[in-house]
């Protein structure tokens, strides 16, 4: 009897061991990817953490490592160097890189996140500044890699002022607004100025915000960028990644507060209230008249071609990349699956 009773226990052990091996095998079968964000973990990119936590990547057969970034230039270089498979970065930085590195493309944008570059310059109202025409002679605080500084000639030209008429004060991004509050500079640039001002105790009526979109400048902003190697060797992986991101992106747009909770899980030190507001302030650059009509993620090639012209001129690149190489739309989900949530 003891020997007979031991047989079921032995078989049960084998079953459990097999289950464990199956689980390990399943985990090993997932394709591992490394994604670099453009900046720190913040509210408007919280849906990437949600996609991972809710299993959207896993359902596409992917195991995605999501890392913080240090600016769009670095995000582009991380993919170009092979250190990362994908990144989130400003498409102007991608255009510049491709223009200065002719030959077979090492990376391509595959999904546009910001249909309109969410960029503004900010001054205190007591400075007396009322329009871009007041910028000449003023000091602008910025880190050297920031798009506010790098693309300034495009905005200055649209504002009909001399790009060289302002003085740039180079400093860490975290110190820009402090420089303005202390009177060391008159202007700082920002993606989401309302959140930065509120965090420093500056009331809305104490500042004046100059949005680049008010100049009539149409520039695309951050896009998902993939290595060409991944596109060529495993296009199904890229398509699955884009599907998962698109799914989470739409959910995040529909409920930013719920999305930010996944950011909180990843980084317990974040302030949910601030990060929800950051997401809300970014939505108008993501959900526009154009994306409501054409769906999220896509670009108008004529508009992108104009941006290629402007960026390559400003940076005096060696060559001008083909817009059709800069952005690869073949991985976009069907338009019906890319429509923004109702009411956004």
Q: What is the pLDDT of residue 27?
A: 54
- Residue 334: DSSP 8-state: P
**CATH 3.20.20.150 is held by the domain 120-215:** no
Element spanning 140, H or E? strand 139-142
Residue 16 is predicted with a pLDDT of 41
Query: Can you point out the beta strands (E) in the chain?
Result: 31-36, 62-67, 86-90, 107-112, 120-124, 139-142, 167-170, 187-190, 207-211, 222-227
DSSP three-state, residue 311: helix
**Whole-Å CA distances, 62 to 57, 69, 73:** 5, 21, 26
Q: Is the pLDDT of residue 13 over 60?
A: no
Q: Using CA atoms, how far apart are residues 262 and 54, in angstroms rounded to an integer?
A: 9
Residues in the chain: 344
- Residue 9 vs residues 2, 13, 16: alpha-carbon distances, Å: 11, 6, 10
Q: CA distances (Å), 311 to each of 137, 140, 170, 232, 304, in order?
A: 25, 21, 21, 27, 10
Beta carbons within 8 Å of 271's beta carbon, 6+ residues apart: none
- Domain ranges, ordered by start, for the chain: 30-115+220-337, 120-215
d(CA 222, CA 282): 12
Query: For residues 278 and 260, what is the distance between their CA atoms, to the nearest angstrom?
Result: 10
* CATH class of the domain at 30-115+220-337: alpha beta
pTM value is 0.87
User: pLDDT, tens digit, for every residue of 278-327?
Assistant: 999 999 999 999 999 999 999 999 999 999 999 999 999 999 999 999 99
Taking the chain, what is the end-to-end CA distance rounded to the nearest angstrom?
A: 70
Mean pLDDT for 170-179 is 89
- Check whether 3 has a pLDDT greater than 60: no
Place of tokens 């800069």: 326
How far apart CA 32 and CA 237 sit, in angstroms, is 10
30-115+220-337 and 120-215 agree in CATH topology: yes
């Amino acid at each position: 009897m003891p020997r007979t009773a031991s047989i079921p226990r032995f078989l049960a052990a084998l079953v459990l061991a097999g289950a464990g091996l199956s689980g390990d095998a399943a985990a090993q079968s997932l394709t591992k990817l490394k994604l670099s964000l453009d900046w720190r973990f913040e509210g408007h990119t919280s849906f990437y953490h949600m996609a991972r936590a809710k299993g959207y990547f896993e359902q596409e057969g992917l195991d995605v490592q999501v890392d913080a970034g240090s600016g769009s230039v670095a995000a582009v270089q991380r993919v170009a160097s092979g250190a990362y498979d994908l990144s989130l970065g400003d498409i102007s930085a991608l255009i510049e890189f491709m223009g200065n590195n002719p030959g077979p493309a090492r990376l391509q944008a595959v999904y546009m996140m910001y249909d309109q570059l969410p960029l503004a310059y900010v001054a205190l109202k007591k400075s007396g500044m009322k329009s871009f025409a007041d910028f000449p002679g003023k000091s602008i605080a910025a880190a050297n890699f920031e798009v506010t500084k790098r693309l300034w000639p495009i905005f200055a030209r649209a504002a009909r002022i001399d790009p060289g008429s302002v003085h740039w004060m180079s400093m860490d991004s975290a110190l820009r607004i402090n420089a303005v509050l202390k009177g060391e500079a008159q202007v700082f640039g920002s993606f989401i100025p309302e959140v930065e001002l509120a965090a420093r105790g500056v009331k809305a009526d104490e500042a004046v915000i100059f949005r680049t979109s008010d100049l009539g400048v149409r520039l695309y902003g951050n896009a998902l960028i993939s290595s060409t190697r991944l596109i060529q060797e495993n296009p199904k992986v890229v398509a699955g990644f884009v599907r998962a991101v698109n799914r989470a992106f739409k959910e995040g747009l529909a409920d930013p507060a719920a999305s930010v909770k996944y950011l909180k899980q990843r980084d317990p030190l974040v302030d949910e209230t601030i990060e929800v507001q950051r997401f809300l302030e970014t939505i108008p650059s993501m959900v526009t008249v154009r994306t409501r009509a054409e769906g999220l993620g896509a670009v108008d090639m004529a508009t992108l071609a104009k941006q290629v012209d402007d960026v390559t001129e400003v940076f005096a690149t060696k060559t001008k990349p083909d817009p059709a190489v800069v952005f690869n739309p073949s991985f976009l989900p069907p338009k019906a699956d890319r429509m923004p949530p109702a009411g956004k």
